[in-house]
Structure 1
Amino acid sequence: MTTSPLRVLIHGGGIGGLTLATALAGRGHQVDVAELRAELDALGVGIIQPSNALHVMRELGVLEDCLAAGFEWEVLTICDPAGATLAKIPQPRMGDVPSNNGIPRPALAKVLGAAATAAGARIRFATTISELHEDAAGVEVALSDGSTGCYDLVVGFDGIGSPLRARLHGERFTPEYTGFANWRVTLPRDPEVVGVLMSAGRQNAKALLTPITDELMYLGAVFAEAADFRPDPLRAHEQLAERLDGFGGPIAAALAQVTDPAAVVYSRISQVAVEEPWHVGRLVLAGDAAHASTPHLAQGAAMAVEDALVLAQSLDAHPDLAGALAAWEERRRPRAMWVQALSRAILKQETGGATTPAEDELLKVGIPGAAHVLVRPY
Structure 2
Amino acid sequence: MASQLRVLVHGGGIGGLTLAIALARRGHTVEIAELRGELEALGVGIIQPSNALHVMREISVLDDCLAAGFPWEVLTIADPAGNALARIPQPRMGDAPACNGIPRPALARVLGAAATAAGAKIRFSATVTELTDDGAGVDVALSDGSSGRWDLVVGFDGIGSPLRTRLYGDRYTPEYTGFANWRVTVPRLPQVRGVVMATAGKEAKALLTPITDDSMYLGAVFAEAEGFRPDPERAHEQLAERLTMFSGPVAEALATATDPAAVVYSRISQVTVEAPWHVGRVALAGDAAHASAPQLAQGAAMAVEDAVVLAESLDAHEGVPAALAAWEERRRPRALWVQALSRAVLKQETGGETTPEEDDLLKIGVPGAAHVLVEPY
TM-score (norm 1): 0.98
| CA displacement 1:217-247 (0-9 Å, x = unmatched) | 0111111111000000111111011001110
Following TM superposition, by how much is the alpha carbon of 1:202 offset from its aligned partner in structure 2, in angstroms?
Answer: 5.9
Q: Tell me which residue corresponds to 1:9.
A: 8
Superposition pairs of residues 1-378 of structure 1, within 5 angstroms = 2-201=1-200, 204-378=203-377
On the 8 A contact 1:189/1:215 being kept in 2, the answer is yes
Count matched residues. Answer: 377
Following TM superposition, by how much is the alpha carbon of 1:3 offset from its aligned partner in structure 2, in angstroms?
Answer: 4.3
On the 8 A contact 1:73/1:195 being kept in 2, the answer is yes
Which ranges of structure 2 fall in alignment gaps of 5 or more residues?
none
SS at match of 1:56: helix
Which contiguous aligned blocks of 4+ residues in structure 1 show a shift greater than 6 angstroms? none
1:9 is matched by which residue type in structure 2? Answer: L
Following TM superposition, by how much is the alpha carbon of 1:83 offset from its aligned partner in structure 2, in angstroms?
Answer: 1.7
SS at match of 2:110: helix
Distance 2:135 2:368 in 1: 46
1:133 is matched by which residue type in structure 2? Answer: T
Distance 2:322 2:97 in 1: 34
Distance 2:145 2:50 in 1: 41
On the 8 A contact 1:4/1:28 being kept in 2, the answer is no
1:259 is matched by which residue type in structure 2? Answer: T
Distance 1:359 1:225 in 2: 22
On the 8 A contact 1:160/1:289 being kept in 2, the answer is yes
In percent, how many aligned pairs have the same letter? 78
Following TM superposition, by how much is the alpha carbon of 1:201 offset from its aligned partner in structure 2, in angstroms?
Answer: 2.2
Distance 2:201 2:230 in 1: 21
1:35 is matched by which residue type in structure 2? Answer: E
Distance 1:329 1:204 in 2: 39
Distance 2:88 2:196 in 1: 10
Following TM superposition, by how much is the alpha carbon of 1:204 offset from its aligned partner in structure 2, in angstroms?
Answer: 3.0
What is the root-mean-square deviation of aligned Cα atoms in Å?
Answer: 0.9
On the 8 A contact 2:2/2:315 being kept in 1, the answer is no
SS at match of 1:204: coil
Distance 1:310 1:121 in 2: 18
